[in-house]
C-alpha cells in the first residue's frame, strides 16, 4: 500500500484529505507542525508522497521543504497552500510535482496524487 504524509496544521483540511486519500487506497500519516515533521523524518522511512502546506507553526513549509529534499531526495511532494506567492520557489525543487492553492478544488490535488504515486 502506498503511503502519503500530510503536513497540515488545519485539522479540518488534514482530516478531509486523509479520508479522501484513504478512500483511494493510500495509507496516510498526518503531522501538524514543523517539529513533528522533523521528528517524522528521523523516525520513519520515506513515504511515497507528501502533501505539504507552507504556512505551519514552528517552521515554515519552505524550511521543511529543504529538510525533506535533503533527507528524502526522491520524495514526490505536492504543495497545498494558501501561500501562492511561493509557487515559483517551490517549483524549482525537482521533488515538487505540483503546486495547488487551497482555493482550488481538493479533487484536483487528489487526482494528481493518484496519477503520480
Place of cell 511515497: 48
For the entire predicted model, the pTM comes to: 0.93
Whether the per-residue pLDDT at 68 is higher than 90: the answer is no
* Tens digits of residue pLDDT in 29-55: 999 988 888 888 888 888 999 999 999
Residue 61 and residue 32 in contact, taking contact as beta carbons nearer than 8 Å: no
The pLDDT of residue 81 = 93
The candidate with the shortest Cα–Cα distance to 69, out of 87, 52, 86, 88, is 52
Per domain, the residue ranges of the chain are 3-116
* Matching CATH number, 3-116, of 3.40.50.2300, 3.30.530.20, 3.40.50.620, 1.20.1440.230: 3.40.50.2300
The pLDDT of residue 40 = 87
Mean pLDDT rounded to a whole number for the chain: 91
Measured CA to CA, the distance from residue 46 to residue 63 in angstroms comes to: 18
The set of residues, in sequence order, having a beta carbon less than 8 Å from that of 46 and lying 6+ positions away, is: 71, 72, 74, 75
Amino acid at each position: 500500500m502506498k503511503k502519503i504524509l500530510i503536513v497540515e496544521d488545519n485539522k479540518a483540511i488534514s482530516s478531509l484529505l486523509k479520508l479522501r486519500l484513504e478512500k483511494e487506497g493510500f495509507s496516510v500519516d498526518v503531522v501538524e507542525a514543523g517539529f513533528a515533521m522533523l521528528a517524522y523524518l528521523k523516525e520513519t522511512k520515506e513515504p511515497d508522497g507528501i502533501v505539504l502546506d507552507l504556512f505551519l507553526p514552528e517552521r515554515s513549509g519552505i524550511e521543511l521543504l529543504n529538510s525533506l529534499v535533503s533527507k528524502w531526495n526522491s520524495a514526490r511532494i505536492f504543495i497545498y497552500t494558501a501561500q501562492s506567492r511561493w509557487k515559483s520557489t517551490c517549483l524549482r525543487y525537482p521533488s515538487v510535482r505540483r503546486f495547488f492553492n487551497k482555493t482550488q478544488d481538493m479533487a484536483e490535488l487528489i487526482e494528481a496524487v493518484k496519477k503520480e504515486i
